[in-house]
Amino acid sequence: MILVTGGCGFIGSAFVLRWLKDQDEPILNLDLLTYAGHPGNLAAVANDPRYRFVRGDIGDMALVQDLLSQHRPRAILNFAAESHVDRSIAAPQAFVQTNVVGTVKLLQAAHAYWQSMPGDEAARFRFLHVSTDEVYGSLQASEPPFRETNAYEPNSPYSASKAASDHFVRAWHHTFGLPTVTTNCSNNYGPRQFPEKLIPLMIHNGLKGLPLPVYGDGQQVRDWLHVDDHCSGLRAVLDHGRVGETYNIGGRSERTNLQVVHAICAALDSLVPLAGGGSHARLITHVKDRPGHDRRYAIDDSKIAGELGWQPSITFDDGMRQTIQWYLANQDWVESVTSGAYRQWVEQQYGGRPGS
């Protein structure tokens, strides 16, 4: 079996669902169920005998060691992370605790477990650490996309915490020999993404006729990767990636934030026209930019393409339409995660930011 951490989150749950769809190997999910971890993400497999859920913290070494000893996984995939830049600006300590301290404790438990394994099992074991392109910093418009050899230049508390976790994973391989692999992905989108991130927030607000808040001039560029493509890339790295290496996983879909919002508006205009007519684009509202907002991210995925034969298969237009249709068909899920606490957060982030 394999162990995933943070499997009730957006990317983790997509990986679990795809894993159980593609093969029979059991999967164990350890998740603390913080605000962005939603058990409903995995309702479809809750009663599957191949799936087991344990609520707990990756920083609880006694729990992790017990799970490793009991279930003997052949691999650990670490999805568990605090992941929203805005929240890291408001409360950075939580990001240090989960992304740095939690990862180190998980590495310690994994190393002890790996050392106890018979030789052939130890040789096959992998610790796959899922990270972000934000660790590389910000690109100018004329600069080439991030490669695995780019220096780390994190600019937010979130990206700094993920950069630190990446460094600790590297250290556990080079110092202790733990067979690790790290992936750095571009911005994910798709079903079951918590609606504080750009795309689900725009869909959620657009469906309710609420303002669509866009930071600054909206010209920040991101490379957009459908979560299912990300999961297929992770599977390729888990199965065939070289130990000790890093692989960038990108969507080959650079867009400005404003282009993304307009694409969502156009799709909503087609699928759910506004009652009074006109375009959802009239709801776009520019708000004061967030501190230290990186201008551009872009991924060079030539390494994973060349070594492992992986490339994204879902175009941005197709993926966006599928994503919007999922949210339209799953409003019960949306209502279950957009609680009073969520509404307070959105008001705090955007309601008090006058137009720039």
Q: What are phi and psi of 179, to 5 degrees?
A: -75, 90
Sorted by sequence, the CB contacts under 8 Å of residue 161 that are 6+ apart come out as 82, 88, 92, 95, 96, 98, 99, 100
Catalytic residue positions? 133-134, 158
Residue among 66, 337, 128 at smallest CA distance from 54: 66
Cα separation, 117 vs 108, in Å, equals 15
Neighbours of 155 (CB within 10 A): 18
Collapsing DSSP states into helix, strand and coil, what is residue 351?
A: helix
- Kindly state the DSSP code that residue 151 receives in the 8-state scheme: P
Sorted by sequence, the CB contacts under 8 Å of residue 49 that are 6+ apart come out as none
Written as six digits, the tokens of 41 are 């993400």
Written as six digits, the tokens of 7 are 């499997």
Instruction: Determine how β-strand 246-249 pairs with β-strand 180-185.
Output: parallel
Cα separation, 52 vs 71, in Å, equals 10
Written as six digits, the tokens of 340 are 């009073």
Distance between start and end Cα atoms, the chain? 51
